[in-house]
Amino acid sequence: MSNTNQSFDYVVVGGGTAGSILANRLTANGRYSVLLLEAGGQGKGFWIPIPAGFSKLLTNPKFNWRFSTAPEESTLNRVIAVPRGKGLGGSTLINGMIYVRGQAQDYDHWAELGASGWDFQSVEPYFRKLENYAQGGEGRGTDGPMHICEVSERHTLSTALLDAAQQAGHPLNADYNSGDQEGFGYYQVAQHKGRRWSVVDGYLAPAQQRSGLTVRTDAHVLNLELDEQKRCTGVRYVHNGQTVTVNAKAEVILAAGAVQTPQILELSGIGKPEVLQNIGVPVRHALEGVGENYIDHFCTRMNWRVKGTDSLNELTRGLSLVSAVGQYFTRRTGILTLGTGLAFGFVKSRPELTAPDVQYFFMHASYANAAERKLDKLPGMTLGVAQLRPKSQGSIHAQSSDPYMQPAIKPNFLAVQEDQDSLIGGMQVARNIMAQPAMSRYVEQEMAPGSAVQSHADWLRFARENGQTIYHPIGTCRMGTDDNAVVDPSLKVRGLQGLRIVDASVMPAMVSGNTQAAVMMVAEKGADLILKDAR
């Protein structure tokens, strides 16, 4: 049964990071009605506000779409988990909370690729607008909706890492978000008073008090509605077993993320004609770039058996855990405030580079199963190693016309020689840091990849066998002005009226770090572009 029940000025598809920000900004002046559609639930659960709870959420189908890659030769035909947040707040409900703007050159590169108006000078005010950075400082926002602070925990091993990095010739960096990214220090995270601070806390909850905003959860979008003049007029979705068609008087805005936005376009007949033909959907609007240009961060995890001090492996068991839980619930401090990274490093894999090309994630913990976040029993520590700006491109396409079937995700990791060399160089630099006197006193042995790994071929095999995505998919509806671009620099879908995309899929190239800050910036600037056109 289908019914058409309502019209809104704007229909936003996806209640995640970008969608929550749009819902707030588009309703702020009280002039427009906005419907926010989210396929997941309310995004409420015991573990969500507790930072360490991410390990419980990463495998929970209630809060995670639990996508996975197709087996590919470049990663030895392994199926790799691709978590995506499900429910209001999207991936800010389940991510590691790490906040990294990236390098100025990243956004200048976007502009070079045809995304005019997205150079660093143009986007920097939006980072400041969204930030409420507890430590303050030059060029940082201090009154925005998103609470950002430095990780408060310190540990013998993280102190040793920073000392060892300096012994190896790397600088300390008090704020990697203030212009110069290079060096080592403690991560900045989206937290407030020891609790996770999601976009629901920062943007959506305040907006839900407004009469102009309607939020509908458990609303799975089937397709976009297009008229004969190539205008997107609305959205068809399923809610409580009913098929509902809703009209958008001004615009439909896709904010379903880099995995689901291209799928929704393809289910609506917008995309590569051969892909649409394969899934049996008639072509309504041919756009070659839909689902292409998929880029993600690929990360290897090097780990070491620890001696002479404890690690999270033991501190999260038995009486130690009971004590940590007590400390967290009485004082909001301790190990339960930790996410996926304690200390950071941004390094150059080769000295002649002009800017860091590798990012490190240090934790005084080691995993028996990284994908499921199962810790080892004996003391250990891990250094995640990721190349910042991968050149390898894959694709995300619908596999069928069934809107409930996950799309085919093909990352094509390590396809480009530069990506291989950069990652291997980063792992070699990491091994050198761990061999410095400040750290070597705590190292019993290198467990992974192990001292037997020495040659370029050995390192590459280790990366192919063990690397995982760190959940930063972008680019599948990229912004630009060439024939393969999906949206123009104002985020309008090329060749169609009344349809924009505002999420990670529009990014033309990868940013140097975790992507949540960049997605928030895209949503803030996207909201401004929409409101400017409305005026």
Q: So which residues are the catalytic ones?
A: 472
CB 434 within 8 A of CB 428: no
CB 180 within 8 A of CB 171: no
Token digits for 428? 């070699």
DSSP 8-class letter at 71: P
Q: How many CB atoms lie within 10 A of CB 102?
A: 24
Q: Give me the half-sphere count of Cα atoms (radius 13 Å) on the Cβ side of residue 412.
A: 14
Q: How many CB atoms lie within 10 A of CB 351?
A: 6
Containing 271, the helix (H) or strand (E) segment is strand 270-271
CA 97 vs CA 53, 62, 338, 362, 466: distances in Å: 11, 19, 9, 14, 23
β-pairing, 81-82 vs 67-68, is antiparallel
CB 69 within 8 A of CB 410: yes
Instruction: For residue 141, give the 3-state DSSP assignment.
Output: coil
DSSP 8-class letter at 523: H
Comparing CA positions, the residue from 521, 522, 479, 511 lying closest to residue 104 is 511
Residues of the chain by 3-state class (helix, strand, coil), percent to 5:
30, 25, 45
One-letter identity of residue 83: P
Token digits for 372? 């499921």
